[in-house]
Amino acid sequence: MSAGTGTPQDVAEQAARRRTFAVISHPDAGKSTLTEALALHAAAIEVAGAVHGKAGRGGVRSDWMEMERARGISITSSVLRFEFDGALLNLLDTPGHADFSEDTYRVLAAVDAAIMLLDSAKGLEAQTLKLFDVCRHRRVPVITFVNKWDRPGREPLELLDEIEQRIGLRPAPLTWPVGTAGDFRGLIDRADRSYTRFRRTPGGATRAIAERVPADRAAAEEGDAWRNAVEELALLDEIGATLDPDDYAAGICTPVLFGAALPNFGVSALLETVCRLAPSPSARVDADGRERPVTAPFSGQVFKVQAGMDRAHRDRLAFIRICSGRFERGMSLVHAPTGRPLATKYAQTVFGRDRSTLDTAYPGDVIGLPNATGLTVGDTLYARTPVTFPPIPAFAPEHFMVARVTDNGRAKQFRRGIDQLDSEGVVQVLRSDLRGDQAPVLAAVGPLQFDVFAARMADEFNAPVTLNRLDYSTARITDKESADTLNGRRGVEVLTRSLDGALVAVFVDKWRLRAVEREHPGVTLTPMLAAGDSD
């Protein structure tokens, strides 16, 4: 068999089984809980907990970093791989906090679909809107799951109206709740009008007990809640709020399901919807605008680099989304940016922070390569037929700090840590001749990124740092000629981005930027992608 190809029929059949998707949400909407619930209903785990690892309870352990567990937020993304109903699912869990939008953006570059998770009481929140804009920009179709229906919240028709009015997606409910938010009785499946009532298990640690109830019995037992639900369903039918799969694939329509992830209500229906509607991997457009079909020789793109996942080894894992062909452990790949060969003897599959050896993989799958020196986010790997995929852009930073090692005797460890965390995308590292390598400028979308940086420098590299804030808030890409004009101007500094050598002009505020643009209309000041931009 040719390296990295398999037979076209084999690759096509395997790719058709794959569903690679992410969950996006505002913080506290229940994303980590839903991730556990999905794995639980797919029988990938036996017990779930509301907070990963809380009080010794089980879970997928996707929030593995100490800071994540201490603060109760997701800082990094992780990968969960499991099977359900004949499909192989690759669930890419993402950070919920806005300060880590850049990591979420990188994950969304590697998926074919997304679940947009809404809190039943809060609806569409700021971070959800930003992440949806990224999905729209990348043409990632969205399935909506209205969570926490077991708690007080808003009217379901009101939430549907908000989705349509605020983000322009036509909602098409697939399930409908019986009982108001906080008085959750069960769900009606709109396709066959069947009714399922749920009963939680102790602590919601295992799958909820589901009971199919005939309509006549439901009407007698649920009373007004049943009658209201039936009336609302009739209204939905009347206005044509039904699913068109083509409109969903085109990003015009979103299937909507209701449930509660904590007690595991309505999760199976969500999994079934992902398997049925989420697209399987398809041809990817390369940097030259040409489509590379899934049956072409192996190709893949690095979307994440992460160290510290295994404290016993303290290694560095590059996550690669397979775009085409069959991967076989031990095959030799080419690193597109350098043309150098890359060995894959130790390829792994990842489930949260747990790993196992991976022998074969197909388009849509995510493989982990430990200690693959030189790999950075956005790099393309290929076998036989050269290809380069478009880079994954960095976000425009809005916060800046100067980093210095507290102990000059740890300078070597300091430089190694700076380089590694830069390549992982924890922060962007900017340098200048004026400041020197001993005082690089760190640039970030959100200030929590600096906390992660400082914690990892101390823990992983034994190089504690001091961070001093710089009064910059706006960044633009510039060029050498413009840099000569900008350098020395008040409130402006030009720095070199370590990862790619780009010149970055930073300004104290947007008014200083506008003043410079007025005074020097010929200078190059190219905007960078901002968190939540759709262009």
DSSP conformational letter for 529: B
pTM of the model: 0.84
Please choose, from the candidates 207, 147, 202, 211, the residue with its C-alpha nearest in 3D space to the C-alpha of residue 177: 147
pLDDT in the model for residue 10: 95
* 97 in a labelled binding site: yes
pLDDT in the model for residue 513: 96
Please give the average pLDDT of every successive group of 10 residues along the chain, which has 535 residues: 69 97 88 88 65 42 51 60 92 72 82 96 88 86 97 96 95 97 95 94 83 95 96 95 95 97 94 97 97 97 78 74 96 96 89 80 94 87 96 87 96 94 90 91 91 91 96 96 92 93 95 95 88 44
* 35 in a labelled binding site: no
Alpha-carbon distance of 8 to 4, in angstroms, equals 11
**Where are the extended beta strands (E) located within 336-464?**
340-342, 348-351, 354-357, 360-361, 366-370, 380-382, 399-405, 428-431, 441-444
* 94 in a labelled binding site: yes
pLDDT in the model for residue 98: 64
Name the amino acid, one letter, at 234.
Answer: A
pLDDT in the model for residue 50: 33
- CB-CB contact of 97 with 446 (8 Å): yes
- CB-CB contact of 159 with 145 (8 Å): no
Buried b / exposed e over 235-257, threshold 16 CB at 10 Å, is: ebeeeebebeeebbeebebbbbb
Q: Which string of DSSP letters, residue by residue, matches 251-275?
A: TSEEEEEE-BTTTTBSHHHHHHHHH
pLDDT in the model for residue 64: 42
All domains in the chain, ordered by first residue: 22-71+112-277 (3.40.50.300), 284-382 (2.40.30.10), 399-527 (3.30.70.3280)
* 521 in a labelled binding site: no
- CB-CB contact of 334 with 386 (8 Å): yes
pLDDT in the model for residue 534: 39
* 137 in a labelled binding site: no
pLDDT in the model for residue 5: 55
| Phi and psi angles of residue 411, each rounded to the nearest 5 degrees, phi first | -60, -40
pLDDT in the model for residue 77: 54
pLDDT in the model for residue 68: 54
Instruction: State which H helix or E strand residue 424 sits in.
Output: helix 411-424
Alpha-carbon distance of 458 to 486, in angstroms, equals 36
Q: Which two tokens stand for residue 334?
A: 């080419």
